[in-house]
Amino acid sequence: MRAFHGREADEREIGVAVRRVLGIETSCDETGVAVYDADRGLLAHRLYSQIALHESFGGVVPELASRDHIRKLSPLVKEVLSASGSKAEDIDAVAYTQGPGLVGALMVGACFGRALAYGWGVPALGVHHMEGHLLAPMLESDRPEFPFIALLVSGGHTQLVRVNGVGDYHLLGESLDDAAGEAFDKAAKMLELGYPGGPKLAALAGQGNPDRFDFPRPMVNRPGLDFSFSGLKTYTLNTVTACKEAGELTEHDKADIACAFQDAVVSTLVIKCRRALQQESLKRLVIAGGVSANTQLRAALGAELDKLGGRVYYPRPEFCTDNGAMIAYAGFCRLRAGLHDDLGIKVRPRWPMTELEGVA
């Protein structure tokens, strides 16, 4: 057995020793496991989604999510080790999501990851979930160079961040209320689209008439880089109510409302990204998080960066949602720098990314 276990150890020695990392993601309703190698990159990853489990409830039930992570983690780890051609003794460290997220779900991954690391005699490290998303484009062969602007856009976060390096983050703006992904889900619920609402609304928007409704672009006429989507949500509800009062809310009405809503969100995000790039005198933009898989958002940001003479980077769609690969990579970056946790098991359901320390 190797001699780490979180005891006093030279951090430089740990960094040199870490080449292959097992990553575990359990922040919400997806169980992700992956193995990342210093020389060969991502060796294998697996993701189990709990959509079917939560669908009848119309949203994530935290207790059920935690129980399902317990059920799926062990078989997923075995599957990923086999797919990556790894044995336990080949793993040099374990990285797991420490926060932010649902406290019960985080505890499952933290306890499991910490126990594996202890049993294997290797260091372990808790990873910031949003740092994982931010670094997910680094899993691709065409990766951005530092510094760049990152748009982190998901169900729980909408942030613009200047990224000078791993851990060197400067928050430029964020949502003052609902995140963009949360607004998508709530608008989808108003339209009775079912769960998960965001992707269903995006798909329906493609069938809508873009000229019928003109929804507001919130906060674009004010200085600064913060977002607010609560007013847009209210405008959507009022439009739905007006259609119902005029008769029946038809499928055409739903598609047109979805189209107008998505146009408003995408336009707002594009305007703020352009403003951030100009403010920071940068021409590289990264988009990451669940909403970054939205095809209209990708196309609009790509067109905008072309106008600015810049470039937009994003992970492949399977790495936009929560996944173990991004945790394995983010953990690898920090573990290779000699960082690791002690034997205590700690999770942080709320955790500002700006509190992270930089990595040389």
DSSP labels, 177-221: SS-HHHHHHHHHHHTT--SSHHHHHHHHHTTS-TTT-----TTTT
Laid out side by side, the sheet with 168-174 consists of 168-174, 158-165, 148-153, 284-288, 311-313
Q: Which residues lie below 8 Å from residue 105, measured CB to CB, with a gap of 6+?
A: 26, 27, 28, 29, 62, 65, 66, 69
More confident: 12 or 152: 152
Task: Output the known binding site.
Answer: 129, 133, 152-156, 185, 198, 294, 322
What per-residue confidence (pLDDT) applies to 156?
84
> Residue ranges per domain, the chain?
20-136+320-355, 145-314
The token pair that represents 197 in the structure block: 């609402």
pLDDT band at 16 (very low <50, low <70, confident <90, very high): low
Average pLDDT of the chain is: 94
pLDDT digit string, tens, across residues 24-40: 999 999 999 999 999 99
Determine contact, residues 284/152, Cβ cutoff 8 Å. no
What per-residue confidence (pLDDT) applies to 4?
52
pLDDT band at 319 (very low <50, low <70, confident <90, very high): very high
Residue 288 CA to residue 275 CA, distance in Å, equals 18
What per-residue confidence (pLDDT) applies to 315?
94
Helices within the chain (DSSP H only): 11-17, 51-54, 62-83, 103-120, 129-135, 180-190, 197-205, 230-245, 251-280, 295-308, 324-336
Q: Cα–Cα–Cα angle for 37, 332, 27, nearest 5°?
A: 110
Just give the CATH number of 20-136+320-355: 3.30.420.40
- Would you say the CATH fold of 145-314 matches that of 20-136+320-355? yes
Asked if the model's pLDDT at residue 8 lies above 90, the reply is no
Determine contact, residues 19/355, Cβ cutoff 8 Å. no
Strands (E), 129-175: 148-153, 158-165, 168-174
What per-residue confidence (pLDDT) applies to 6?
47
What per-residue confidence (pLDDT) applies to 360?
74
The token pair that represents 60 in the structure block: 């994530």
27: helix, coil or strand?
coil
**For residue 299, what are the CA distances in angstroms to 142, 206, 255?**
18, 13, 20
Task: Output the known binding site for Fe cation.
Answer: 129, 133, 322
Just give the CATH number of 145-314: 3.30.420.40
The token pair that represents 357 in the structure block: 């320390």
Peptide bond into 147 cis (omega under 30): yes
Mean pLDDT of 239-244: 96
pTM to 2 decimal places: 0.93
Determine contact, residues 298/320, Cβ cutoff 8 Å. no
**Residue 223 CB coordination number (10 Å):** 7
103: helix, coil or strand?
helix
Task: Output the known binding site for substrate.
Answer: 152-156, 185, 198, 294
Q: Which residues lie below 8 Å from residue 108, measured CB to CB, with a gap of 6+?
A: 26, 66, 69, 70, 73
pLDDT band at 13 (very low <50, low <70, confident <90, very high): low
